[in-house]
Amino acid sequence: MRTSAKLCLKLYAIALRLYPKSFYARYADEMLEAASLEIAQSHNLPHLTASLLWDNVRSLPRAHWDYAKPKSPVLGIVALSIYTVLVLFQAVSTRRTERGSADVMPAWAARQYSNDCSVAARIQSCADKLASQPRQEITSSSWLNGGGLFIGLYDSAGRAVGGNATLNGTWPQPPHGIFDTIRSRGEFRVTWQPQPGIRVALTGRPLNSGGFVLSGQSLSSTEKYTARTLRILFFGWAMMLAMAVPGTIARARARKRRIASH
Amino acid sequence: MAASILKDHIPLTPAVFAILLALADGEKHGYAIMQEAREHTPMGPGTLYGSLDRLLTAGLVEETGLTDDERRRYYRLTPSGRQTLAAETARLEQAAAFARRKGVKPLTGRTAGARA
């Protein structure tokens, strides 16, 4: 055999290594024999080498698909289930993290005011100070989407004394149950929905005088961000499912045929 | 063979049809199949053995067990393979008859054949 023919055959033998191991073990000798006969009869070796290699390139993906793992659909289903659990975990964790981050500023403000306004004599001056600030309206889109902070002072009965924001023109008045919980727990963080479309991350702390300070921030931007993240996660999961399910079914059917034929 | 199994395989790809057709008149080894199949469709060893592997899996082709040496195994059609080939031939004949009824004339000479 000529040197160029030997080189061509060597190249083809190397290319055969790209096939899946089982396929290689089963057919490599036969393929090499066929290529060797082709080469022996060829008058245009470069063209034959190119067509042999091109034939390999075309048939390789299908061979890898046929021999790809997992062979069992059960493994595919397990992998999908694990992926689904991971996506769910990520979704829950995103929700918790984002909701938690919305409490940071209200909690800080509530702590500040509970320290500054705890002496009974100072409550009114605190309320006056708050009232002197430009008053914001909680239902306005500038407050809902602007990241503004609401501070409200309440007496021991839970009645509003003053604040820096109003809800529909009056001091925000959360349900009285909140004050009982603050009294028993010391600090209480809760989501308050004063009316449809308005959700506020609220932190409340007791004052030494017997009153309470409440601080809140709109959840609008946080919830929009969370919803967008969850949509992306869900889209990724659905895409994965759309790709994996037909593959798993095809593999299950192929496996069934393979078992039936042996 | 159940109609549903036939439905799984038909229509056949040109390479698979050519391989089954090459085996229609008796058992052959891979290289002989490839040479005959090339009368109808381009085919290299990768295409041949990839298709043969799937045909073995599907039970349309089987090994005879005879071998000159390790590098040369013989293959033959199974009854299912023969029925699949017959069904595909009938389908192609129907398509050809339909084309003729529509006035399509077959090409003649070398242009009609596939190049190897």
Report the b/e string of B58-88 with b at 16+ CB within 10 A: bbbbbeeeeeeeebbbbbbbbebbbbbbebb
Query: What ipTM was estimated for this complex?
Result: 0.81
State the pLDDT at residue B115: 44
The answer, for A60 touching chain B at a CB cutoff of 8 Å, is yes
Chain-centroid distance of CA A176 in Å reads 36
Provide mean pLDDT across the span B13-22: 94
The answer, for A44 touching chain B at a CB cutoff of 8 Å, is no
In this structure, are residues A217 and A105 in contact, taking their beta carbons and an 8 Å threshold? yes
Provide mean pLDDT across the span A61-65: 86
What strands, in cross-sheet order, belong to the sheet with A160-163? A160-163, A149-154, A212-218, A198-206, A188-195
State the pLDDT at residue A78: 80
The answer, for B72 touching chain A at a CB cutoff of 8 Å, is yes
CB contact under 8 A, A30 and B59: no
CB contact under 8 A, A27 and B53: yes
Domains of chain B (ranges, CATH numbers) = 12-103 (1.10.10.10)
The answer, for B63 touching chain A at a CB cutoff of 8 Å, is no
Q: How far apart are CA A151 and CA A204, in angstroms?
A: 10
Q: Where are the domains of chain A?
A: 3-67, 103-218
How many helices and strands in chain B, by DSSP H and E? Answer: 5, 3
Cβ-Cβ contacts under 8 Å for B101 (sequence gap 6 or more): none
pLDDT band at B2 (very low <50, low <70, confident <90, very high): low
What is the assigned CATH class of domain A103-218?
alpha beta
Provide mean pLDDT across the span B31-54: 92
CB contact under 8 A, A34 and B59: no
